[in-house]
Structure 1
Amino acid sequence: MAEEKKKAKAPKLADPVASSIDVASQEMIARSHELGVETIFDRALTMKRCSIGVQGTCCKNCSMGPCRLPLPKGGIVGEDTRKGLCGATANTIAARNFIRMIAGGAAAHSDHGRGVAEVFLSVARKETDVYQVKDVDKLLAVAKDLGVATTVEVDGEELDRDLDEITLETAEVALAEWGKSEGELLYPKKAPKARYELWKKQGVLPRNIDREIVEIMHRTHIGVDMHYKNLMKQGTRAAIADGWGGSMLATDIQDIIFGTPYPVQSEANLGVMKEDHVNLIIHGHEPILSEVIVAVAQKQEMIDYAKSKGAKGIQLSGICCTANEMLQRHGIPLCGTFLQQELAIITGACDAMVVDIQCIMQNIADVAKCFHTKVITTHRIAQIEQDNVIHIEFDEHHALEDAERIVKMAIDNFENRGAEVMIPQHKAPIVAGFGVESTEYHLGGSFRGTYYTLNDNIINGRVRGVAGVVGCNNARTRHNNDHIKVVKELIKNDVLVLTTGCNAIACAMEGLLTPEAAAVHAGAGLAEVCETVGIPPVLHLGSCVDNSRILLAATEVVKAGGLGNDISEWPVAGSAPEWMSEKAISIGHYFVVSGVYTVVGVTFPTSGAPVFNDYICKDFENIYGGMWDFEPDPIKHAHKMIAHIDKKRKELGIDKARERVMMDFASRQAL
């Protein structure tokens, strides 16, 4: 008996099929078990989540706690008397926790934006020749939005201002948005006028990006703000500062210095890796270094160097949002989603994984110890403690040297591969790189680019509505299952889907990002529109900071007319089926307060405080026109969105499909 107790229990191992709907991932999970390599899928079985933390009612904001306020079985009967040691109620605790998640998410996105803005300022000051202004039209548009003059009056004549002057002033004004001492954030004025006026009336216009995040941390300190409604007011300010500030500035500045995306063809899934090539995987969210790595890896001298080491070339691919950034501008293939980062190393073919910030699992270092893979961290704020990780701190002033060193390190490591390489032979073709500008072009061409075409097809019923489906993967649900079920159900019901982040990668792997997918998966009306204008039923709009593109596309729809005066009036809904990070809460909240009904899956961190939960899931619609909702079942999740879209169609009086009418001359005169 004593001997039996001494025997270590066999670790629980994840069922590959139950863990993921993706065949390539299933193969790699099975291989991890054969090799004795632990992954997140295994840890999800052994690590149980905190039932009180999931409800949002555990407070650890001082050392008297943590104070745990579980929701009683059967719910609250009568008055809710639960309190922490300081007297904080469940509503206060849940609201504090919720807006701290907003602060964390807004900080992550906005710090990404700040980094890009700092590089932009270096470009403007001519301190680097690696980066330059690639999209002058976007520069001039951003300058206008930031109040920077693009013309100058000379002797009564208006002349174009020097481009270098415009660039420098635009960069300085943009960077000041993070910490200016007075005034308000400039970009919220890009929203529909009715939305901006609503924010002004509610007193939630952000002053600057950093201040709103810092104020959340102050308000949620013990003994400061103790009213869930007032706490959410500050959470709203910070979320707007993210979506209509840091994230939107990040997207616009990246377009200026890296180029505005237009549709490109590529491939997605682990099968994009090549056994006879150096496989260099870029992973994270900030594309500043990756842009240079792409350029360096395509140099003939680097390709020749790889051949000298026995490889046929260099295969770049990406994971998470750095992948989306490289895809939409260069066609670099997608290797996988957040939950596939360990699996990419388990192929045995990953010569180097280069990471920057956000969504990087510390365990990739442990997995890499079992293989030859070099893990290289590159950002000053994001290091990994394991001794097998190499840190090469990126500096935009030495970007070329850093990138060359990294690419050579990957090439040199090609010779160190083990005998067994197993790359799953699964990948899908994709078309990605849609944005506000390219979508406008697809809808109307070079001379007639307009969102009215989309509006017209929403009005006549061919397109039922639009959904933004975004967000991470979550190991607490089957990998990609909820993403794909929600999206397929939406497009089957004629809802055009706009996607970013890991949802975009999941859709890519499933083959939903090609125009041909419309004929297979979309309803008749949406399929007809997709075929006519040559677009997929699911439009890839980029990385998670690029959710700002969805906001701006929504604004363009409002401007085009016929569907109300605000985002909250037209048939649109948002979704994060497998959300995981604090960024998802910040994104979701800036969509909600922009007027979008937004549903999340897996879990929602307010269930332990019913009054607070009802406030953001019901009362918010009366204040902002948008609200949160929670539905873990993906089909029900999609149908909640469809029901909301139908409600908005009815309110607009377009709930009955209209047939096309050939316009004669008299009809046009009347119109």
Structure 2
Amino acid sequence: MSNEQARSIDKATVELLEKARKEEISTVFSRADRIKPCPIGAEDSCCKVCAMGPCRLPRSKKGEQQERTGVCGATIDTIVARNFARKVAAGTASHSDHAREVVETFLKTARGEAQGFAIKDEVKLLEVALDFGIDIEGKDATAIATELGEKALNEFGRQHGELAYTKKAPLKRQEIWRKYGVMPRGIDREVVEIMHRTHMGVDQDYRHILLQTTRCALADGWGGSMISTDLQDIMFGTPVPVLGSINLGVLKEDQVNVIVHGHEPLLPELLVVASRDPEIKKLTEEVGAKGVNLAGMCCSANEVLMRHGIPCAGNFLQQELALVTGAVEVMTVDVQCQMQGLQGVAECFHTKLITTSDRAMIEGATHIEFHPEKGLETAKQILKMAIENYPKRRHAVYIPDHSRDIVAGFSHETINYLLGGLFRASYRPLNDNIINGRIRGVAGVVGCNNVRTVHDSAHIAMIRELIKNDVLVLTTGCAAMACGKAGLLTPEAAREYAGSGLAEVCEAVGIPPVLHMGACVDNSRILVAATAMVKEGGLGDDISDLPAAGAAPEWMSEKALAIGQYFVASGIFTIFGTTWPTVGSENVTRHLFEEFEGMFKGTWAYEQDPVKGARLMIDHIDKKRKALGIDKAGERVLFDMAMRRALG
């Protein structure tokens, strides 16, 4: 096996890694070979919050006595808890700043100030308005949207009370949050408070620090992320199942290739609109291209895929490799998960890297800021630059012949409809099939890629083990894209990979055994689905009662920790792979892995082996089934007409 083959289970990735090596192009993979993780930093046993340090506190060797405190006397427990808290704060800030941009664009759309945007899902507008306590009687969509945008924007600066969306959680879950004082008040307030508490000489009790960490994470899951998902659905349309394609083979040699990369779907949405403009089509023909080929990368890919069927070029670790094809005219990037190394790769080819957010620039890249007031103009400007760049290709194009068909776009609303139909939309069929044992339980497998693991391998190994054992998988982000490349996002996958019970249900409904639910910010859809299962009845009265578990086997970003923390605080058993940032403190790790379960009925776990991780999730699901009294399959009874009448 070559070094490249050992890096990824994806053939397109391997082929382009070989090309990059031969052409001496630096990528995240080659840089990872040169730079090894700091063993002290990997355990977060280093404190850098004041200038008396950094204080490095490596674990004592066997038989060696070593005082594990910083210069100020801060214990290893305090230091590790602070570091963990700051990561969760950064992840929450990232999702929530994304949400703020969406809310501001939503408001401008409602007021008629945004170019190219509209209110597309008025039904969801009314539903979300009611969630925010808005009186909709006698008001038109514009008035309701304006009031909703203003109320949503207030959630960021709120100082007291409770976030509006926390009332969507089961009542028992709300009581737990209030009991431990972690009910989020305002999104920005919780992030700021973490930064204050973890300043030198403030909060120095690791349990107390981790309570505020939990409150901050909840402000993400039941605040910023949920707001972003709902308002994007209202503006762009709530996703429904759509056929798309994935992997680097979606690039076209005879077309102008434009890759949208990042996490905010505002500009990508308008690029889709602009690409269909007759003027753009004419300019494309003039340079000898057969069209504009839009393709997505990372979570922007998921957004335009599930609403428009725009092909997805790849996930996080493939972003530089897309440029190595030599076929990309322009890559746009906004915020989150874009590597600075992209510019170095772009300079090896004719590709223009364009940064579009006022919060994120890359040295050497072209900067064209996106503002909704001139959104469509900006989208056309970028496409014209791409078209002008098409004749400037300097190298022979190499596009791997690897892509797959996928079905994406399983929002909460879609699942509700598919299970119950238009007039009886309900989670009852899902709950019933969990109760009768055809479906063992539900797992959310989400998260990033990490160059310290074999690209995509942990996602696929874990998910195949889960669906083989009749666990329905919900997936988002880079994990979802890994599933697409591995052929798990089509209905046919149920027969090939799923256990007999899950396969039977999937074939009856016509769904894959793994449901693509969107971008990483859309993990809130999983919370909504879990809450719907509780409210439907028969599976307990809280999210923690469900036969359900979560995982991020290849996580790498601070956002992933924020997501994991809000899932744990919502009552979900959550397992991470790759590495774990609190192993430097036995007490902090024990608190998160054991004591949290007694408090929040959800807990963390860490397992590098994805199959073993899947087995831990299945064991947890079985434990919950036993507690509900549904651990034994019920007898299947064929009802005659008299029995049917008796049902009423």
Normalising by structure 1, what TM-score?
0.95
**How far does the alpha carbon of each residue in 1:426-466 deviate from its partner, in whole angstroms, 9 at most, with x for none?**
00110000011001111111122110100000011110000
**How far does the alpha carbon of each residue in 1:311-363 deviate from its partner, in whole angstroms, 9 at most, with x for none?**
11111101100000000111001100100000000000011101110000000
1:122-521 equivalent positions in 2, closer than 5 A: 122-151=108-137, 160-386=138-364, 389-521=365-497
- Where in structure 1 are there 5+ consecutive unaligned residues? 1-12, 152-159
* d(CA) in 1 for partners of 2:427, 2:289: 47
Does structure 1 residue 102 correspond to structure 2 residue 88? yes
**How far does the alpha carbon of each residue in 1:249-285 deviate from its partner, in whole angstroms, 9 at most, with x for none?**
0000000111100000010000000100000000000
- Where in structure 2 are there 5+ consecutive unaligned residues? none
1:117 aligned partner, one-letter code: V
Given that residues 115 and 372 in structure 2 are in contact (C-alpha distance below 8 angstroms), is that contact kept between their aligned partners in structure 1?
A: no
* d(CA) in 2 for partners of 1:358, 1:471: 13
| Structure-2 change in CA distance of 1:370 and 1:22 (3 Å) | same
Partner of 2:24: 36
**How far does the alpha carbon of each residue in 1:288-308 deviate from its partner, in whole angstroms, 9 at most, with x for none?**
111101110122321221111
Secondary structure at the aligned position of 1:440 is classed as helix
Partner of 1:540: 516
* d(CA) in 1 for partners of 2:454, 2:61: 28
Aligned length: 647
Given that residues 14 and 45 in structure 1 are in contact (C-alpha distance below 8 angstroms), is that contact kept between their aligned partners in structure 2?
A: no
Report the more deviating stretch, 287-296 or 162-171: 162-171
Partner of 1:154: none
How far apart are residue 528 of structure 1 and its match? 0.5
Partner of 2:646: 669
Normalising by structure 2, what TM-score?
0.98
Report the more deviating stretch, 304-313 or 334-343: 304-313
Secondary structure at the aligned position of 1:113 is classed as helix
**How far does the alpha carbon of each residue in 1:356-414 deviate from its partner, in whole angstroms, 9 at most, with x for none?**
1000000000001110110000000110012xx11001110010111000011011100
1:111 aligned partner, one-letter code: D
**How far does the alpha carbon of each residue in 1:61-107 deviate from its partner, in whole angstroms, 9 at most, with x for none?**
11111111112234999xx8410101111110111000101100000
* d(CA) in 2 for partners of 1:640, 1:89: 32
Partner of 2:538: 562
Given that residues 88 and 217 in structure 2 are in contact (C-alpha distance below 8 angstroms), is that contact kept between their aligned partners in structure 1?
A: yes
2:86 aligned partner, one-letter code: R
Report the more deviating stretch, 49-58 or 180-189: 180-189
How far apart are residue 198 of structure 1 and its match? 1.1
Does structure 1 residue 50 correspond to structure 2 residue 27? no
2:349 aligned partner, one-letter code: F
Does structure 1 residue 659 correspond to structure 2 residue 635? yes
How far apart are residue 670 of structure 1 and its match? 6.6
Report the more deviating stretch, 185-194 or 588-597: 185-194
* d(CA) in 2 for partners of 1:534, 1:630: 34
Partner of 1:5: none
| Structure-2 change in CA distance of 1:109 and 1:236 (3 Å) | same
Does structure 1 residue 120 correspond to structure 2 residue 106? yes
Does structure 1 residue 60 correspond to structure 2 residue 48? yes
How far apart are residue 668 of structure 1 and its match? 5.9
How far apart are residue 40 of structure 1 and its match? 0.7
| Structure-2 change in CA distance of 1:295 and 1:667 (3 Å) | closer
Partner of 1:634: 610
Of residues 518, 527, 531, the one that matches 2:503 is 527
**How far does the alpha carbon of each residue in 1:193-251 deviate from its partner, in whole angstroms, 9 at most, with x for none?**
11111111111111100000000000000000000110011001100000000000000
* d(CA) in 1 for partners of 2:423, 2:398: 50
* d(CA) in 2 for partners of 1:601, 1:16: 22
Partner of 1:617: 593
Secondary structure at the aligned position of 2:638 is classed as coil
* d(CA) in 2 for partners of 1:49, 1:257: 42
- State, as a whole percentage, how many aligned pairs show the same letter: 57
Of residues 541, 556, 579, the one that matches 2:555 is 579
Given that residues 14 and 42 in structure 1 are in contact (C-alpha distance below 8 angstroms), is that contact kept between their aligned partners in structure 2?
A: no
1:377 aligned partner, one-letter code: T
Given that residues 158 and 189 in structure 2 are in contact (C-alpha distance below 8 angstroms), is that contact kept between their aligned partners in structure 1?
A: no
Of residues 87, 92, 100, the one that matches 2:78 is 92
| Structure-2 change in CA distance of 1:74 and 1:444 (3 Å) | farther
* d(CA) in 1 for partners of 2:141, 2:344: 49
* d(CA) in 2 for partners of 1:668, 1:86: 75
* d(CA) in 1 for partners of 2:279, 2:610: 49
| Structure-2 change in CA distance of 1:497 and 1:76 (3 Å) | farther
How far apart are residue 167 of structure 1 and its match? 1.4
* d(CA) in 1 for partners of 2:568, 2:162: 21
* d(CA) in 2 for partners of 1:241, 1:114: 13
